[in-house]
Chains A and B, each alone.
Chain A
């Protein structure tokens, strides 16, 4: 096992982007299209292979690569465990779909867009693999730049405002996290995550450090009240941008909570549990109600994303096996379903150039295939049993119920509300009579749209019925995470008494 498979996953898209950059292709851009599809697809196969050879029975990090980078200070260290591998696979799965979608819809500066996506993939996979805080930080923040450009260049009318809002919010949190990482280096003498897990961080610093990390993750999740950038970013971003943002970028924060907040600062995490619960519940109920009132389809789905991510943060901080596993499944599920929903909006936006709900209605008569797929994803977002959304939400609520009845009850109200806003959206867009005469000539899904949407629909149903492969992969790692967490707390409370 000396083949550096993780580095290959990280570097392959980057190499692809260089190739595209230096390619002086003809008018039709045929070469770069094929290259980008080929690169991202092989990366996906590589990720699947990684999942296949991944040893599910051990909780330790695997496929570790450790290279000296800045002598004595920082090592380039990557490795994965049961928690990170699925995110790597998810990233590698979503990116080729984005590339296909971009190729068939974007006309303006296609080459640059593809470069941005490929770089983005490299950085995202890097985030989920890195085992050194500094390396993590670089990947984590680096991811902002392509996203910033995607919104700023290919966005809608208010793209500059949105791009800056996005940047301002996320940067604010990031600065604090950087300070925290530097402090960790001074406190513990290393930024190696594996080392830090072993030696632990002195309790008296944990609360401050936790808050610094939290401020960065909370913005990216996004949690209430730092969520207002997300609807704007989604509305202005091109479809592929929204997909990347919803499916992968938001997951970095959830992953960060599990890997760093809980892993490195158990005492502080326990201390701040009530804060996270309260913010999560506000996110779930508040944004669901806001989503109910939206006129813009993308904004509605963006707000629903905030609500769904509220479930994720709630589940993670239940510190129960069900809660955390539920959160991971919820993140994967949200990655598939919200991505698909944004694509669904993109499909009709490309045809009619409006995202206003009132401009549609009665689409089922003219776009039956679209109606089926949109229905599948609507039901996924509603969390109907038989979709991954249900498995995630159910486990999260089950975990939350163990910790606090009242929290679980409030969060369950969100499940009712999600049905309300999604079904109402669907009814207004797809059902009813065609009122708007322009819609009569709208064409149903073309081949590439069908492929993309079915590719997203099948796993979200399959893993809803049979999530065993996912549980199998994450079970051991989560179990050991919780055990370590509880052991650390025991030591702390024993010392206190």
Chain B
């Protein structure tokens, strides 16, 4: 069963990638969608099996690297954690596959697109089912690669190519941290298989490590390095710059990769390594700080963006921040819960946005939309559901997971976690504002697009709407159904078991009522407020922007990260490269090396040539001279 789940998507990718032209567009679309759907069904079966029978297994597929003490296998590990991920990945992926049949209907490269999607699914599955750090790394880079392919899918666009490379490189910086973390784990533990590593952690936490002259706790260092990897993949502050640019890819890609699955790999990594993180309060504090800062920071940017996809991208960034700070306060299961619910409503929002963009003939600027709620009734309602779920409107799925994060942060009871909880509440307000701004500017007010007449706007085909409906259903119900299982008081005994490790069990108390009510109230009341300023009195936002020009520009330009990085890294590397090449290779090594030597030889031989003058008297004279010098030396000795 596990083999089917993992390898069917690969098979689909293979067939539609290499024989796409042979089997035709239609068939490769159906084939890949069917394969991934079957994989999704089996994933749900596995999940159900884990749920009811506490099923756990670890299959060894083949040997991989076997060098000295390093023994790594290709493996399929199933436990509560990976079964949740299996469901998220295959389920969303199958819907995105089906949706893409409609969305990419005008694209000439359909088999290639489907092949990439399936290949991505396969890589993501190898990532989550790994029983060791190396296969995780394989999946990690594999999903990065597919992301690179898919962002740059429209290869004729310069911006898409640039975004693809940027995504790959920024991720490589993160991977650099992850790789060093894996090296350090191997150095300390002599193995990189999860189970064997996790067993040794408690003894290791007593030891010290001399790292580049500084004595450190190895556990802290491992955790920080792994977290750098997680930051890269999950687009956390400092390594987030690739995610908004990644929106250059087709929208189904954004939904699958840059919302529901790949970007959550970082959260998955931290949760998977809970047995390590639990021994490092320092690293957990770092995770909390980075998580909450990202949550806030990305939300501020999302407030002022005009590109519909970029708003949702920053929103994703912000929600990932939530997941991280949940993990940081030790509520790993809550982080996973938010990951689970987020996958549904964020995929819904992205695919809904795709439907809007599709109707507007590839327009993405929300200032050029508006007033189409009657024209796109299904899309409108579905996006509304997604937005309600995202903002945490009571009883929808985001409500259970997001509020639980804020509550657990509060219950943790440290200074840092109080700050995190307040940042969480404030960010929830911002989330609500930017989400409703998106909805109101897109669907309400008056129609603003000069390029496409309003009569041309029509609803997307059923093949696109049906997946959205399924996701919408999930966004409504998932929270209610799974809340006890994921975050209930005995969720650890019943479901998670050993897949998540805690030194101190989570608090089972409840926060005071006023605290519980704060977020829902804020969120609910922000809806009419947003409606008022973005639909009724549309001058207010621009007045606010005028009044706070510097702050507005700062947000608008995404805190100037791109400019800063371009100046520090890109330009300097190019300059240094040029200097090494022209000055050191050219002017120093070659000049004093081979060119210098050949020049020298040429000069000497030019001189030497002059000795061969052909005049016998000159030769005789030299001979005589030499003879007398020789004689003199003999006599002196």
Contact = CB atoms under 8 A, between A and B. Distances in A.
Given A289-B573, A292-B577, A412 B186 contact: no
B593 A228 contact: yes
B65 interface: yes
B580 A431 contact: no
B629 interface: no
Given A408-B180, A416-B172, A419-B172, A325 B142 contact: no
Given A416-B169, A420-B169, A384 B141 contact: yes
Contacts of B62: 466
A405 B212 contact: yes
Interface string A258-292: 00000000000000000000000000001001111
Nearest to A468: B63
Given A290-B585, A293-B577, A423-B168, A416 B176 contact: yes
Q: Which of B168, B573, B594 has the most chain A CB within a 10 Å cutoff?
A: B594
Contacts of A424: 165
Given A168-B594, A168-B597, A413-B176, A320 B68 contact: yes
A322 B191 CA distance: 13
The majority secondary structure among interface residues of chain B is helix
Interface stretch (A81-89, A145-153, A391-399, A443-451): A391-399
A169 interface: yes
Assign chain A's interface to a size class.
Answer: 35 or more
B65 A467 contact: yes
Given A391-B65, A401-B184, A415 B161 contact: no
B67 A325 contact: yes
Interface string B169-208: 1001100100110011011000000000000000000000
B590 interface: yes
Contacts of B172: 415-416, 419
B574 interface: yes
A408 to B, nearest CB: 6
A321 interface: yes
A225 B589 contact: yes
Nearest to A427: B161
Contacts of B186: 398, 401
B66 A289 contact: no
Interface residues of B, number: 53
Contact of A229 (B145, B594, B597): B594
B593 A471 contact: no
A398 B70 CA distance: 10
B138 interface: yes
A281 to B, nearest CB: 14
Q: Which of A229, A397, A405, A424 has the most chain B CB within a 10 Å cutoff?
A: A405
B137 interface: yes
B64 A466 contact: yes
A401 B183 contact: yes
A471 B141 contact: no
A402 B161 CA distance: 38
A226 interface: yes
A406 B589 CA distance: 27
Nearest to A225: B589
A465 B64 contact: yes
B169 A419 contact: yes
Given A293-B577, A401-B184, A406 B212 contact: yes
A98 interface: no
Interface string B554-576: 00000000000000000001101
A148 B624 CA distance: 43
A362 interface: yes
B211 A293 contact: no
A471 B66 contact: yes
Interface string A29-51: 00000000000000000000000
B578 interface: yes
A170 B590 CA distance: 14
B618 interface: no
A292 B573 contact: yes
Contact of A293 (B69, B141, B164, B574): B574
Nearest to B593: A228
Given A322-B68, A415-B172, A165 B581 contact: no
A379 B577 contact: no
A165 B142 CA distance: 42
B354 interface: no
A322 B187 contact: no
A416 B168 CA distance: 9
B187 A402 contact: yes
Given A228-B593, A397-B183, A416-B173, A471 B67 contact: yes
Contact of A412 (B180, B187, B581, B584): B180
A294 to B, nearest CB: 8
Contacts of A364: 155
B598 A168 contact: yes
Contacts of B594: 164-165, 168-169, 228-229
Interface in B3-37: none
B565 to A, nearest CB: 13
A135 B239 CA distance: 55
Contacts of A432: 155-156, 158, 161
Contacts of B64: 465-468
Contacts of A415: 172, 176, 179
Interface string B37-80: 00000000000000000000000001111111110001000000
Contacts of B581: 290, 293-294
B577 to A, nearest CB: 4
B302 to A, nearest CB: 29
Contacts of A326: 67
A409 interface: yes
A321 B165 contact: no
Given A293-B578, A362-B156, A417-B573, 19 more contacts: A165-B595, A228-B585, A286-B584, A289-B576, A290-B580, A292-B577, A384-B145, A394-B65, A401-B183, A415-B176, A420-B573, A424-B165, A427-B152, A431-B152, A431-B161, A432-B155, A465-B74, A467-B65, A468-B66
Interface of B: 62-70, 74, 134, 137-138, 141-142, 145, 148, 152, 155-156, 158, 161, 164-165, 168-169, 172-173, 176, 179-180, 183-184, 186-187, 211-212, 573-574, 576-578, 580-581, 584-585, 589-590, 593-595, 597-598
Interface of A: 164-165, 168-169, 225-226, 228-229, 286, 289-294, 320-322, 325-326, 362, 364-365, 379, 384-386, 390-391, 394-395, 397-398, 401-402, 405-406, 408-409, 412-413, 415-417, 419-420, 423-424, 427, 430-433, 465-468, 471, 475, 479
12 contacts: A164-B598, A165-B594, A168-B597, A226-B589, A229-B594, A289-B576, A289-B577, A365-B156, A386-B142, A395-B70, A427-B161, A471-B65
Identify the 8 closest CB pairs spanning chains A and B, nearest first: A321-B68, A289-B577, A401-B183, A385-B138, A293-B577, A431-B155, A290-B581, A292-B577
